[in-house]
Amino acid sequence: MSEAMPSSVSIDADSQEMSPSGDERAVSAGEVIRLVGAGVSYGEIRALAPTDLDIVGGSSVALVGSNGSGKSTVLGLLAGLLKPTVGQVRIGSDVRIGFVAQQHGHHRWMPLSVREAIAMGRFGRLGLLGRMRGADRDAVQSAAERLEVVELLRRPVSDLSGGERQRVLVAQALVADPDLLLLDEPITGLDLASQQVILEVIDQQRRHGAAVVFSTHHLDEAREADRVVLLAGRVVADGAPGEVLTPDHLAVAFGGRLIKIGSDTVVLDEHGHGVQHDDCDHPDPGTDSC
């Protein structure tokens, strides 16, 4: 595996057991996936209280909250990478899921080209031993074009900048044509050009009928979503951005990490848990300074 591979996966939901009591498929018309009282605990530590959440096609949902608020836990449940300790995850039939996780470290010794990295997103359809056909190669080319990495296709992933790597990871998730695209803080620390490309792809996916769920601690980014779910180990508020991102709700979710600048409420940037989207190299994956 390359540095890209742990950070982007394509999942065939038909093979996922999404519930501790069995695989529940019942969702309403238009829904892609639903959490039904789903919660996660690690021993006595509760990562996410029992949560109800429905995700419909053709919509974008921003998960907002401080570090440890449950954003990554919700994404893990939706991706089928975490099992709820209570409740269920119900998913529509034949739903394809693409997941772009946070980047945590580099493996510069892995000789994998950008084209090969993107093509790995087709493995969910082909299997590890399946041969790439014309349609698969076309899908790789299309994903590369959408993320503006065509000129990088022959370069090693290990030679890319942080913004370039992240665009490759998103392309890898898109190449499977997902019905549900999940992204964990996809633009944090990126150059402006890469941010704009990825945000445009998120909007394109929504307009094409897919469901997109992404986590963020940037309120401006969250306001661009159709819906915001504000988390603090539980759902504090869920609805339209203007209804959720209010000073009162944000005070509950972020506590004292809010400041007022004129009439605006600003969340102090507390991001510091090893995400490596920036364009500098970190000798220690646990550090954020260049």
Least confident of 25-34, 100-109, 177-186, 236-245: 100-109
pLDDT category at 179 given cuts 50, 70, 90 is very high
Beta-bridge mates of residue 275: none
Which carries the bigger pLDDT value, residue 214 or residue 283?
A: 214
Segment 70-81 shows an average pLDDT of 96
Per residue in 119-149, pLDDT (tens digit) is 988 876 666 666 778 888 999 999 999 999 9
Angle at 234 between CA 233 and CA 240, to 5 degrees: 125
Neighbours of 30 (CB within 10 A): 13
Strand ranges (DSSP E) for the chain?
8-12, 31-42, 45-56, 59-64, 86-91, 96-100, 180-184, 211-216, 227-231, 235-239, 258-261, 264-267
List the single range of 16-30, 48-62, 169-183 with lowest mean pLDDT: 16-30
Q: What's residue 144's pLDDT?
A: 95
**The Cα angle at residue 206 between residues 205 and 208, in degrees rounded to 5:** 65
**What amino acid occupies position 69?**
S
Q: Given CA atoms 276, 121, 62, 80 in this order, what sign does their dihedral have? A: negative
pTM: 0.82
Q: For residue range 190-242, list pLDDT tens digits in order.
A: 999 999 999 999 999 999 999 999 999 888 889 999 999 999 999 999 999 99
Residue range 70-86: average pLDDT? 96
pLDDT of residue 281: 39
pLDDT, tens only, 4-46: 344 565 555 543 445 444 444 556 668 899 999 999 999 999 9
Q: What percent of the chain has pLDDT over 90?
A: 58
- Give the pLDDT score at 22: 42
Average pLDDT of the residues in 110-124: 85
Tokens of 32: 């892609």
Is the pLDDT at 286 greater than 50, yes or no? no
pLDDT higher than 80, residue 3: no
pLDDT at residue 107 is higher than 70: no
- pLDDT for 233-273, tens place per residue? 999 999 999 999 998 899 889 876 665 555 555 555 555 44
**What is d(CA 225, CA 241) in angstroms, rounded to the nearest whole number?**
7
The residue-averaged pLDDT of 51-74 equals 95
pLDDT, average across residues 61-72: 94
